[in-house]
Structure 1
Amino acid sequence: MAQLEHKAAADRVDRETLPMAKFTDPRHTATGEPRAQVALSGLRTLWLNTGTLCNLACANCYIESSPRNDRLAYLSTEEVVGYLDEIEHEGLGTEEIGITGGEPFMNPDLPAILRACLERGHWVLLLTNAMRPMMKQAEALLALRALAAERLTLRVSLDHYGPAVHEAERGPRSWAPAIAGLRWLTEAGFHVTIASRQLSGESDAALRAGFAHFFAEHALPMDANDPRDLVIFPEMDEGADVPEITEACWGLLGRRPEQVMCAESRMVVKRKGATHPVVVPCTLLPYDTRFELGETLRDSAGPVALNHPHCARFCVLGGASCGAG
């Protein structure tokens, strides 16, 4: 019995002295310091993930969208309207609705979802690869442009200013259809911006110079040096070790909690087989159920613990945001 008690005590000591794994405790980091949290200052942007199905299977898609990935089901118009109603009834003052996927145009309800958002007076930021699924909805898009052209922005994903890097990420024959869709959008009078990534290893300045040449070559009305026209996201290396963000980090890094995306945004997702969508803090955390904040926007209003590598890698250290500006 004494041997068993001694072993149990030794096991307790081992557990207490061994370092805790990073990004496990929402209140403390692995070193025991208070973990940084971000309070919701106001719901400026509500993101809708319309489903993870996509016509492409990109090599480094953070959400692993593909023609077969239906882990996030299509949101319905009725479900979206429920959240728009809550925004109105609660007086949340939400300005922008962001729409992402997957490829949003794969969702057959997308035109009706866009119309519902625009008719409520929201600004809409729609992320797309501008390929065949979008062009199949060209007529519906033109009708929406006539409804509220100044409040609808389409952000087209181009992973580089040249086809080689883009197709290495998105697959063969993905460049030409994207450029054709991009040109159709601009010629039809839509407000279009570009989202790119630091896949090539080039500096921000070099990428912007390359895109400036690309915009001029294709007569596209965008300023490569304007971060609203060309957003360049830092590449997220899933295998890279990143530090946890403590409360002390804000002062050390010269950052403030209100600068982080989850200070003013939330995202609605619907898991495959679920009866109701749920709200998560941001676009980067669609699958981690630890970050489910509830089924309603009211439920999701509490602070968010920065308890995921993406919080450090992308938002705090990378200084990135998915919003329009």
Structure 2
Amino acid sequence: MLRIWASACPPAWPRINRTGHRCVTGLVPAAPKRLDPSKFQDPDVTSKGERRAVVAFTGLRTLWVNTGTLCNITCRNCYIESSPRNDALAFIAAKEVAACLDEAAALGTPLEEVGFTGGEPFLNRDLPAMLRDVLGRGLRALVLTNAMKPMMNHAAALLDLRAAFGDRLTIRVSLDHHEAALHDLERGEGTFDRTMEGLDWLSRHGFGLHVAGRAAFGGADEAEMRRGYAALFAAHGIPVDAADPVALMLFPEMDAEADVPEITEACWGILRKSPDSMMCASARMVVKRRGAAAPTVVACTLLPYDPAFEVGATLAEASRPVSLNHPHCATFCVLGGAACSR
């Protein structure tokens, strides 16, 4: 079976990644500079011997739940390699999520929001029960979805949740580009139309909506991308403000093999950023590995497979600092300025 590497390759430029999997996609002809293999090797110091940046845990405000890596489609560039066959992360059960929420409450965490990601979360049959549990505790819930058939299979349950909890439930729909051809290049022929059908349905029924796209997909700058999305939303009557960076999140490309600077302690002052603003300062993700008896906690939604970012079997254990010892820490969070939640 052809497996697709999680990073974003430049267009029409096939390459073989370190695990031998071929990646073909992208929209620029030149290959990016490859990562110096001496980088990101030591959790404490960079390849130049400088102290690596570390993010202290300030309290759990966002809990992410990976519902499982199975997905109804196979994208060309999926950071988690989701597909109809990848069950490396198994379906997590509602009772296991409830136990995490109970622990968060017992610890007195400042938890505000629970996000559900996958895979395609709506393939997990427990998702409606998990959402009702989260919302019933007075928390906000966020679901990341491609808004296709798996979501529509839960239409009745979603309408019930919308009626009971209103805007505390937000659905974030993945739409890689505002043009069908480019979106379908990434996610498969016809996926743009099917996703738009789901987005239209959510809009008609008054759900809280966000959209996630890709910042530089197709070679356009961010302003041009936002104008394109704005025109699409206006044409369909979708109430998403394309100028709002939360309502329309445009994520940077993630290529773990492209060269990127390591983040040192000095970078906070140079970049005028606070470590408290990083996602791992206030968020953790619960995952259930295939064959595991119980879920575990990882520091970052982007790195569910990296053992260095597994921070504990419980939320209490997972409150330790995180060393920014991965290219995604630089590309996505520190330099890219992205975050998975509000």
| Residue equivalent to 1:251 | 269
Determine what percentage of the aligned residue pairs are the same residue.
58
Pick from 65, 90, 93: which aligns with 2:82? 65
| Distance in 2 of aligned mates of 1:229 and 1:33 | 37
**Following superposition of structure 1 onto structure 2, how do residues 114-263 of structure 1 map, counting pairs within 5 Å?**
114-198=131-215, 199-263=217-281
Check conservation: 2:285, 2:298, Cα contact below 8 A: yes
CA separation in 2, counterparts of 1:120 and 1:42? 18
Superposed CA deviations along residues 15-67 of structure 1, whole A, max 9, x for unmatched, are xxxx9822121111112211110001111100000000000111111111000
On the 8 A contact 2:300/2:309 being kept in 1, the answer is no
User: Is the 1:280–1:300 Cα contact (8 Å) retained in structure 2?
Assistant: yes
Instruction: Describe the SS at the equivalent of 2:318.
Output: helix
Counterparts of 1:145 and 1:311, CA distance in 2: 35
Q: Does 1:264 align with 2:277?
A: no
Letter of the 1:221 counterpart: P
User: What are the superposed Cα offsets for residues 93-126 of structure 1, whole Å, 9 maximum, x if unpaired?
Assistant: 2000011000000111111111111111110111
2:116 to 99, 120, 127: 99
**In structure 1, what is the Cα distance between the partners aligned to 2:152 and 2:177?**
22
Which whole-Å CA distance do the structure 2 matches of 1:226 and 1:316 have between them? 20
Compute the TM-score of the two structures, normalised by the length of structure 2: 0.88
Distance of 1:20 and 1:201 partners within structure 2: 28
Which one-letter code corresponds to 1:246 in the other structure? T
Alpha-carbon distance in 2 for matches of 1:58, 1:215: 23
Structure 1 partner of 2:49: 32
**Residue of structure 2 equivalent to 1:308:** 326
Do the aligned residues in 1 keep the contact of 2:43 with 2:324 (CA within 8 Å)?
A: yes
Q: Does 1:43 align with 2:60?
A: yes
Which residue identity is paired with 1:143?
D
Q: What residue in structure 1 maps to residue 6 of structure 2?
A: none
Maintained 8 Å contact 1:20/1:31: no
Matches of 1:27 and 1:222, distance apart in 2 = 42
Q: CA deviation at 1:239?
A: 2.7
Structure 1 residues not aligned, in runs of 5+:
1-18
Asked if structure 2 preserves the Cα contact closer than 8 Å seen for 1:284 and 1:310, the reply is yes
Give the match's secondary structure for 1:200: helix
CA distance in 2, matches of 1:129, 1:184: 13
Secondary structure at the aligned position of 1:108 is classed as: coil
Alignment partners' CA distance in 1, 2:286 and 2:38: 29
Equivalent residue letter for 1:29: T
Matching residue's letter, 2:313: E
Aligned equivalents of 1:223, 1:110: Cα separation in 2: 27
Partner of 2:293: 275
Q: Where does the alignment leave 5 or more consecutive residues of structure 2 unmatched?
A: 1-35
Who is 2:102 aligned against?
A: 85
Cα offset, 1:72, TM superposition: 0.4
Q: Secondary structure at the match of 2:44?
A: coil
CA distance in 1 between partners of 2:163 and 2:141 (Å): 14
Q: Structure 1 residues 175, 256: closer, same or farther in 2, change over 3 A?
A: same
Question: Matched residues in 2 for 1:89 and 1:239: separation?
Answer: 41
Residue in structure 2 matched with residue 109 of structure 1 by the alignment = 126
Deviation of the 1:237 alpha carbon: 2.5
Q: Indicate the larger mover: 151-160 or 227-236.
A: 227-236
Task: Kindly state the Cα deviation for residue 138 of structure 1 after the two structures are TM-superposed.
Answer: 0.4
CA distance in 2, matches of 1:238, 1:290: 15
Deviates more, 1:261-270 or 1:225-234: 225-234
Residue aligned with 1:258, SS? helix
- 1:139 counterpart letter in structure 2: A
Q: Deviation at 1:228?
A: 2.2
1: CA distance between counterparts of 2:328 and 2:108?
31
Structure 1 stretch 61-70 or stretch 219-228: which is displaced more?
A: 219-228
2:338 corresponds to 1:320: yes
Residue in structure 1 matched with residue 20 of structure 2 by the alignment: none
- Supply the distance in 2 between the matched residues of 1:210 and 1:174 (Cα, whole angstroms): 18
Q: Which has the higher helix share?
A: 1
Aligned-partner Cα distance in 2 for 1:293–1:222: 36
Query: Runs in 1 of length 4+ with deviation above 2 angstroms?
Result: none
- Letter matched to residue 78 of structure 1: K
Higher Rg: 1
